[in-house]
Amino acid sequence: MPLVLLLAGSLTSANAQWLFYHEKDTPMKGGKPDLIARTPRTSDGHPDLSGVWAVEHSAPGEIERLYGAAQANGPQATAGDDIRDMNKYFLNLFIDYKRGEEPIRPEWRAHEAKVRQSGVNERYSTLHCLPYAMPAKYFNIRPFKVMQTAKELGIYYEMDGNFRWIHLDGRALPEDPFSSWLGYSAGHWDGDTLVVDSNGYNDKQGLPGGHLHSEKIRFQERFTRIDFGHMDLEITVDDPEALTKPVTVKIRENLLPDTDILEYVCNEGERDTANIAEVQSSAKKAAEAKEAPAH
């Protein structure tokens, strides 16, 4: 199968398998879903976060301004995975900082350089069908589905077919967790905001932008559904071994009504997709050379 067709098929998000299915509980106005209707609530009175959600697209021109035209208009833009539609943090969690001023410990920068030079971390690349790291799953245009009960909340990420449980039964996070791809998550309600704390992540995937993190990393997510069709998400990343201070980013997630999630199948050990990186790198270099001023 040609690479472009492979990508276009596997990265489709909005055109999910039940594209025209109408949920009977969806509030309507003028024949369309009323996305500014009141926030739905569960039987216990908490906001119901259930539904299919996708990150709000970047503002027109934002990705070009932050990352340059060569990156924004590179091969991914024509392969069904348009970077210009991503949230700005997908390419770099520290994009709000000036280069060199990211809150990364000097000794950790030296550690990162050694790891990159060794090539060890390449074996854990998502190009080999291994899971994307947190919190990159929220910054990609591919949606995620929330399923909520009183005692737990499940999230299925279309991005790489991962399913995650957030426990709402009052349990504490493990003090000595077994490191894993999606860690351990426990949540509680702070008014109408669901606060989720997570630990137990392995160090095999980096943060958006290629920076590594340690197994001491912790995340806190704050989900606030402000009306029927919009949810604010605040994410704080804290890694005392790698960062000088916690980093917090805020994004908007929009409901995708009357649709559902596509399955994602990518088997660990896949090697063909590694060719994509080579193609993208060559195209990017060509684009940058074309943009470079003549001497």
Q: Regarding beta strands 144-148 and 218-227, do their DSSP bridges make them parallel or antiparallel, or are they unpaired?
A: unpaired
CATH superfamily of the domain spanning 3-290: Calycin beta-barrel core domain (2.40.128.20)
Angle made by CA atoms 139, 55, 229, in degrees to the nearest 5:
155
Place of tokens 């392995």: 202
Distance of CA 98 to the CA centre of its chain: 22
Distance CA 204, CA 139 (A): 19
Per-residue pLDDT of the chain (295 residues; tens, 9 = 90+): 333 333 333 333 344 456 677 788 899 999 999 999 999 999 999 999 999 999 998 899 999 999 988 777 765 555 457 888 889 999 899 999 999 999 999 999 999 888 888 766 666 666 777 888 889 899 988 899 999 999 999 999 998 888 999 999 999 999 999 999 999 999 999 999 999 999 999 998 889 888 999 999 999 999 999 999 999 999 999 999 999 999 999 999 999 998 888 888 877 766 665 565 565 566 666 666 665 555 4
For residue 214, CA distances in Å to 74, 198, 219 come to: 31, 14, 12
For residue 267, CA distances in Å to 95, 105, 128, 140, 272 come to: 32, 35, 8, 20, 11
Place of tokens 């008014």: 191
Integer Rg of the chain from CA: 20
Annotated domain spans of the chain: 3-290
- This prediction has a pTM of 0.83
The residue type found at 215 is E
